[in-house]
Amino acid sequence: MTVEGFEHLPGHPLRPGAITIPAAERELLAEVLRGPVVAGDGLHPLHAYIVAQRGIGESIEDLCTLADFPIEDGPMMGSLQIELHGSMHADTEYRIEGEVVDMLRKHGSLRGPFDLLTYRERVLDPAGVMVAELTNTFVLFRKDTSD
Partner 1 sequence: MTEINRHIGPVVLAPIDPERMKAMAVVLDDPNTIHLDPAVVQALGFGNRTINQGPANCGYVIDVLLDHVPGAFLERFAARFLGNVFSGDVLTVEGKVTEVDGVSVGCTVWLENQDRARVLQADAVLRRPV
Which residues sit at the interface with partner 1, rule CB under 8 A?
25, 28-29, 31-36, 44-46, 49-50, 53-54, 59-61, 71-84, 87
Nearer to partner 1, 13 or 35 (CB): 35
Nearer to partner 1, 13 or 86 (CB): 86
Task: Kindly state the smallest distance separating residue 128's Cβ from partner 1, in Å.
Answer: 21
Task: Kindly state the smallest distance separating residue 7's Cβ from partner 1, in Å.
Answer: 26
CA geometry: angle 118, 62, 55, nearest 5 deg? 80
Question: For residue 94, what are the β-bridge partners?
Answer: 19
Nearer to partner 1, 83 or 93 (CB): 83
Give dist(CA 36, CA 24) in Å, integer: 14
Task: Kindly state the smallest distance separating residue 8's Cβ from partner 1, in Å.
Answer: 25
Task: Kindly state the smallest distance separating residue 130's Cβ from partner 1, in Å.
Answer: 13
DSSP assignment of 60-103 equals HHHHHHHTT--GGG--EEEEEEEEESS--BTT-EEEEEEEEEEE
Closest residue by Cα to residue 6 from 121, 118, 136, 133 = 118
Nearer to partner 1, 5 or 36 (CB): 36
